[in-house]
Amino acid sequence: MLGPPGVGKGTQAEMLSQQLHACHLSTGDVFRAAAKHHDCMASPALAQAIELMHQGKLVPDGLVFALVAERTTCLHCSGGFILDGFPRSLQQANDFDALLERLNLQLDAVVSYTLSIEETINRVSGRLTCSKCHTVYHLESKAPATPGICDRCGNALTRRHDDHPEAIRVRLQEYAAITEPLVEHCRQKGNLLNISAASSPAGVLATTLTGLYALAHR
């Protein structure tokens, strides 16, 4: 799943994982997602990624690839998996293609979500995230019952320091520069779905499922 900040990749990936009985692997914190599953707890790649995170260092692509490879052997991923926002560049995509070939797997589809700049800024600037369970809220469309407190676990909600209009515009420009070649690469391979994320989460999910079904039965 591809798309700039605010399009709802994580929400769609989570709903799709339930619909398709597939494992949801989130980029950036893919190791944190892996840690939720007991059969992955002893993963060498996971342990190394967590150690780097604790040191405040970035997790390199090679280690993320290793973790994804390990996750494919987990019971939770036996029915397939959904990558949320990864790979993000053409180089990562080429490396990931090589990984899939080694694992004798194929990428069934790439879903690229689109949203106007104005709507993206509105969504992201009002976004709040639980510091504990990482549930995402929005000040307008999905406000918590108690301001600043997570409905699910009762912990504090936080906002990213760069979730303001000026920084969001910069992130969107950076995303476009890095990801547009990747989108074109996927289009040429014939497994790309371009889907507008402007409607409700349920509406976007329905459109996504329809597109995936059509792609699988073409």
- Tell me the pLDDT tens digit for each residue of 148-206: 999 999 999 998 887 888 888 988 998 888 888 888 989 998 899 999 999 999 999 99
- Catalytic pick from 36, 159, 160, 187? 160
- pLDDT, tens digit, for every residue of 20-33? 988 887 765 555 55
Q: Flag the least confident range among 63-67, 98-102, 141-145, 193-197.
A: 63-67
The SS3 assignment for 167 reads: helix
Q: What is the pLDDT of residue 87?
A: 84
**DSSP H or E segment with residue 130:** strand 127-130
Distance CA 88, CA 97 (A): 13
- Catalytic pick from 9, 71, 132, 152? 9
Residue 169 known to be catalytic: no
Distance CA 81, CA 32 (A): 16
| Pair 12, 205: CB distance under 8 Å | yes
Q: Could you tell me how many residues make up the chain?
A: 218
Residue 160 known to be catalytic: yes
Residue 187 known to be catalytic: no
